[in-house]
Amino acid sequence: MTSRGTPSRFLRSVLQNGVGRYVCQLKRISIVFSKKAQSSLGARDFIEEGVVDYANKNPGTVVYVSPQPCRVPKIVAEYLNGNVREETITSKTSQQISELLTKLTNQSGLEIIRIRKPFHTDSPSIQGLWHPFTNRPLSIGPIRPQKPDSQ
Amino acid sequence: MASGYLLNRGALTLGIHCQRVCRDISLSQVREKKRWMKAYTYLMAKKLKLEGPPPPTPRSQQPHWDYHAEIQAFTHRLHENFSLELLKTAFINPCYLQMEQEKRKGLGVESETAALVLKDNMQLSKKGSAFAESFLIDWCRASFPSLPAIGVESIVGHLTSPAVLTYVARNLGIEDLTMSAEFPVPDDVLCSTFMAVIGALQESSGAERTGLFLRDFLVTQLIGKDLFDMWTVVNPMGLLVEELTKRKTPLPEPRLIRSAGASTVLPLYFVGLYSDKKLLAQGPGETLAAAEEEAARVALRKLYGYTENRRPFDFSPQQQQQQPFIQSASN
């Protein structure tokens, strides 16, 4: 679909994150995987090796580990602005899953749609925006509104 | 009943009710094409259309929730040291306690055997809102020394208004942790919970840290906002005249500087305000009166130092730290 047909947004941050202090926007992740299925092998390896390190490195994120009989292992990430993202991790290796988690941790929770401009500023102009009267010399004599009959 | 039977089979097969994660077909079901599936999906769609979407449930009643872990993560996420007991008290609202008492009465549980040992957050909330107001007033006066008291009050009033507070609280994850009687949490309850969290922070970490917290989360909401969005001034010209008489400068005289399209549907006039033949400010408008008013507003912004091109606020981390940073909860 074209960019007009798909949703788009402007570049912004949640609650001016980073201006004051940086707050990690990822609230909680739930890792849903199966104990026996083949597609959850990478997930099980990650739970054995990497999840505790991840949880220690990101104390602001709650990690829920949930072994369930499921065919498709998932990571459900919830962000501070309320958005929920689900990523499937079928047949991914432990390394790929930890890279995916780093990616999710570094995201703000805003939607992954086309960003209209790669820049944003709250103070677009220091000296004042240009308009056609800027730097235009004043005409000689006082200016009065034109009378409509004078033509 | 047919739809009841279909409901049970559908719940077993699809497992979509009250589950965020879709469960798959369990081994006891057959794998072939199900003849009832189409009728079931159509019935459920019709039911959804009739009754509308199901009401939202609080996060604490959905799967994967550990209150203590969530509270700890909340403190680490904001890089603050909270005393966990105070913080847990800060999230308990009086409406929640009332609801619990009524539930217990309804169940016939005696108040001695299962007493509700929870305190509500009214005291913390009052403390927090008093501190927040005083801090914001001091900060405003320090950043804009020439802004009059009414201006300071309006800015602080805007920052402590329910709209801004609920926006900040929702984006900090306070709504999930709040214990209240209704869901979605009403605005005033959310505001008082946020203030209670600030009160808890003040009691745990002291006034300085709380001040930095308020600066990082409330004062940042001023970025991109104009003074007269928050402070409604009915007569800017009169206010300007007052200000100039206070500073003992000559009174402003409006003069038409530029004009374009006077006889069209969209005229444009630039009116300049001159004090003792020196230009104070100029402003555009569609009519002469509107342009004069706008020029007065621009002049006021310049006088109070609230222009768009002013020096940005200082949000540098941990300025003037007298005590060493006790516990760094950084990644």
With respect to residue A126, please indicate whether it lies within any of the assigned structural domains: no
Report which of residues B67 and B28 the model is more confident about: B67
Tell whether B63 is within 8 A of chain A (Cβ): yes
Mean per-residue pLDDT, B163-187? 95
Using 50, 70 and 90 to split pLDDT, how confident is the model at A71? very high
Per the CB < 8 A criterion, the answer to whether B258 and B270 are in contact is yes
- Does a structural domain hold residue A135? no
- B259 pLDDT exceeds 80? yes
Residue A143 lies in a domain: no
**All domains of chain B, ordered by start, with CATH?**
67-227 (1.10.1520.10), 233-304 (3.30.160.20)
CA distances, B28 to each of A35, A39, B9, B12 (Å): 19, 21, 12, 10
pLDDT score at B18: 40
Residue A66 to residues A22, A51, A70, A73, B146, Cα–Cα distance (Å): 29, 12, 10, 10, 58
pLDDT for position B110: 74
- Identify the domain containing residue A61 by its residue range: 23-109
CA distances from B175 to A63, B155, B166, B183, B229 (A): 19, 25, 9, 10, 28
Chain B nearest CA to A134, separation (Å)? 10
Q: How far is CA B278 from CA A79, A136, B272, B273, B274, in A?
A: 54, 18, 10, 8, 5
Residue-wise DSSP of B95-143 = HHHHHHHHHHHHHT--TTTT------SHHHHHHHHHHHHHHHHHHHHHH
Note whether B23 contacts A126, CB cutoff 8 Å.
Answer: no
Find the CB nearest B215 among A20, A61, A72. Answer: A20
Using the Cβ of B26 and the Cβ atoms of chain A, whether some distance falls under 8 Å is answered with: yes
Confidence of residue A143 (pLDDT cuts 50, 70, 90): low
Q: With bands split at pLDDT 50, 70 and 90, how would you rate the model's confidence at B211?
A: very high
A15 in any annotated domain? no
Residues 97-116 of chain B whose Cβ lies under 8 A from any Cβ of chain A: none
Residue A74 is which amino acid?
K
Q: What is the mean pLDDT of residues B261-280?
A: 94
| pLDDT confidence of residue B30 | 78
Which of B312, B83, B100 is CA-nearest to residue B205? B83
Q: pLDDT at residue B330 above 90?
A: no
Q: Which residues of A touch B329 (CB under 8 A)?
A: 59-60
User: What pLDDT was estimated at residue B182?
Assistant: 92
Cβ-defined contact of B170 to A74 (cutoff 8 Å): no
Q: A5 CB near a chain B CB, below 8 Å?
A: no
Average pLDDT of the residues of chain A = 92
Determine the average pLDDT of the residues in B132-143: 96
Plot region of B240 (φ>0 → left; ψ -120 to 50 → alpha; else → beta)? alpha
- Test A19 with B220 for CB contact under 8 angstroms: yes
Burial (CB count within 10 angstroms: exposed 0-12, middle 13-18, buried 19+), residue B125: buried
Distance to chain A for B167, nearest Cα, Å: 9
- What interface predicted TM-score (ipTM) does this complex get? 0.89
Q: Taking the CA atoms of A17, A22, A26 and A27 in sequence, report the sign of the dihedral they define.
A: negative
Task: State chain B's mean pLDDT as an integer.
Answer: 88
**Given an 8 Å threshold on Cβ–Cβ distance, is B329 in contact with A61?**
no
B309 touches chain A (CB under 8 A): yes
Q: Which residue has the higher pLDDT, B274 or B8?
A: B274
Q: Which of A23, A127, A143 sits opposite B77 (nearest CB)?
A: A23
> What does DSSP assign to residue B205?
H
| Chain B contact for A36 (CB, 8 A cutoff) | no
Interface of A with B in 102-141 (CB under 8 A): 122-123, 125-128, 131, 133, 136, 138
Domain membership of residue A115 (yes or no) is no
| Per-residue pLDDT tens over the stretch A7-24 | 999 999 999 999 999 999
Number of domains in chain A: 1
The mean pLDDT value for B60-80 works out to 95
For residue A13, being part of any structural domain is answered with: no
Which residue reads 């709650």 in tokens?
Answer: A62
Task: Give CA–CA dist A81/A77, Å, rounded.
Answer: 12
Q: What is the pLDDT of residue B109?
A: 80
- A39 belongs to a structural domain: yes
Residue B320 has pLDDT above 70, yes or no: no
pLDDT digits 0-9 by tens, B101-118: 999 888 888 777 667 788
Q: Do B26 and A69 touch (CB under 8 A)?
A: yes
Residue A39: CATH number of its domain: 3.40.30.10
- Report the alpha-carbon distance of residue B298 to residue B20 in Å, rounded: 53
Give a yes or no: residue A138 inside a domain: no
Q: Is the pLDDT of residue B53 over 70?
A: yes
Give CA–CA dist B76/B65, Å, rounded.
17
Q: What whole-number distance in Å separates Cα of residue B310 and Cα of residue B271?
A: 23
Cβ distance of B220 and A24 shorter than 8 Å: no
Q: B45 exposed, middle or buried (CB, 10 Å; 0-12, 13-18, 19+)?
A: exposed
B213 CA to centre of own chain: 14
